[in-house]
Structure 1
Amino acid sequence: MTTNTPLLKADNVGIHFGGLKALSGVNIELNAGELVGLIGPNGAGKTTFFNLLTGVYEPTEGSIVLGNDKLNGLAPYQITRKGISRTFQNIRLFGELSVLDNVKVAYHSLARHSIFSSIFRLPSHFSGEKEIEEKAIEFLKIFKLESFMYEKAKNLPYGQQRRLEIARALAAHPKLLLLDEPAAGMNPQETQELMNLIAFIRERFHLTILLIEHDMPLVMGVCERIYVLDHGQLIAHGTPEEIRNNPKVIEAYLGEEIS
């Protein structure tokens, strides 16, 4: 359920690489429970913005705040613990690990038992591992992946690999889920299944979702609001209908399909 409570505020955010301004003056605000799109032509700065939100890069200017926590200067693992998880345009699973172990890896970032207990194989280690495995299996059931749990991740069909990557991201119990081009490489049927999955995730886990995507029917079909980047700057923000008819957006895409 969408609320008017700000969850994320990016205020005048920018980053420079040497003399190159990759992003400049970006202001984005997400309310709790929203599903928001971030679109723009190739090279517009969309993934760079995700990298700023997740601590891969640190902003050269501006601030990023999640709830009451300023994220500037935090390491990626610290930001994950604050409540942001992401997927990647190019799927980044542990291909040689099982489907089950890929999800367990995410749960380990939140594990309550200590390294000390693991080294010395204390009872708390075994009880903690059992709890993690039970939670991971339950998660696989939610995403209809339990029949693949002992398969190597690399052997899954492409659409199932994408589903597993999203499941792994959600296993870290984020407040904000960042999806970076989840429909990349998918056929129309897989894309439709992905749309249904995104809607299910939002309702089931009461999440805020920020979505980068080039598949405009998908974006227009699932997002409540859309931000548009071009050459590192925001050029538009509004509802799907407003974005579809915005002259600046149409010009930025140079006649590409945006409906």
Structure 2
Amino acid sequence: MTTKTPLLKVDSIGIQFGGLKAVSDVNIELNSGELVGLIGPNGAGKTTFFNLLTGVYEPTEGVIALGGEKLNGLAPYRITRKGISRTFQNIRLFNELSVLDNVKVAYHSLAKHSMVSSILRLPSFFSGEREMEEKAIEFLEIFKLEPYLHEKAKNLPYGQQRRLEIARALASNPKLLLLDEPAAGMNPQETHDLMNLIGFIRKKFNLTVLLIEHDMPLVMGVCERIYVLDHGQLIAQGSPEEIRNNPKVIEAYLGEEVS
């Protein structure tokens, strides 16, 4: 009997800054097509963990593998090409660029034309640029952002900026999408719309999604499994119902509501 290789396998991963262990001995597995939550109190190490997965930090211990291929030591742009993309807790758009250009930037990471053809303005450059623009517009139509095509990103309403950041992350054609607190700063209606959007893009693009979020109704409503970090260590994992009733999780949140 063969065992299916998980899309993402994190084996005893950790990182130390000086004498402080920000993340220690964390083991996580994600299978293709799953939507999984990563929760924990502020300072639990969640964003640091995302930074390890995307090459911003190099782990001091353990192994990160995507589809069985080790990612340790790869630069962030190479990890993006391998199939991991992300959003950030604080929106990081190119504010002075148009909505269209923000998405085209992500497509450039997959560009087929060479630097030489770009410098010399060869036909392959122009055909490549046209192809990227067509794909970007198609993407923006899916996210209902086409009306803002030539608007500067900074001028979009907050909820639309979140949509644009997710659209840009998906434009790099990832296998695994990391969402870092996508509902931060949203009102209830925007959060509800976001829940629907996450479910839609997961099915539409056949994605695996790992979601950091403090909005517990959102996490419990969309995630199939949940991992819980506290002080850089994994303290629980399971279904939303199991996590909701786990005494360690309730204690780690110091009385915060987890249901």
Structures share fold, TM-score greater than 0.5: yes
Q: State the partner residue of 1:9.
A: 9
Q: Deviations over 1:37-91 (max 9, x none)?
A: 0000000000000000000000000000000210100000000000000000000
Distance 1:174 1:196 in 2: 20
Q: State the partner residue of 1:251.
A: 251
Amino acid at match of 2:136: A
Amino acid at match of 2:19: G
SS in 1 for 2:7: strand
Q: State the partner residue of 1:52.
A: 52
Q: Could you list the runs of 5+ residues in structure 1 that have no partner in the other structure?
A: none
Query: Cα RMSD between the aligned structures?
Result: 0.6
Distance 2:40 2:203 in 1: 27
> TM-score, normalized by length of structure 2?
0.98
Q: State the partner residue of 1:132.
A: 132
Post-superposition offset of 1:5:
4.6
Matched ranges for 1:117-128 at <5 A: 117-128=117-128
SS in 2 for 1:139: helix
SS in 2 for 1:6: coil
Distance 1:96 1:114 in 2: 26
Q: State the partner residue of 1:213.
A: 213
Q: State the partner residue of 1:175.
A: 175
Q: Decide whether the 8 Å contact of 1:97 with 1:152 is kept in 2.
A: yes
Q: Decide whether the 8 Å contact of 2:6 with 2:68 is kept in 1.
A: no
Distance 1:171 1:66 in 2: 19
Q: State the partner residue of 2:68.
A: 68
Distance 2:200 2:29 in 1: 23
Size of the aligned set, in residue pairs, is 256
Q: Could you list the runs of 5+ residues in structure 2 that have no partner in the other structure?
A: none
Identity of aligned residues (%): 85
Amino acid at match of 1:116: V
Distance 1:251 1:5 in 2: 34
Distance 2:68 2:249 in 1: 33
Q: Deviations over 1:187-246 (max 9, x none)?
A: 000000000000000010000000000000000000000000000100000000000000
Q: Does 1:235 align with 2:228?
A: no
> TM-score, normalized by length of structure 1?
0.98
Distance 2:24 2:140 in 1: 40
Distance 1:246 1:118 in 2: 56
Amino acid at match of 2:124: S
SS in 2 for 1:198: helix
Distance 1:239 1:37 in 2: 10
Distance 1:254 1:108 in 2: 45
Amino acid at match of 1:6: P
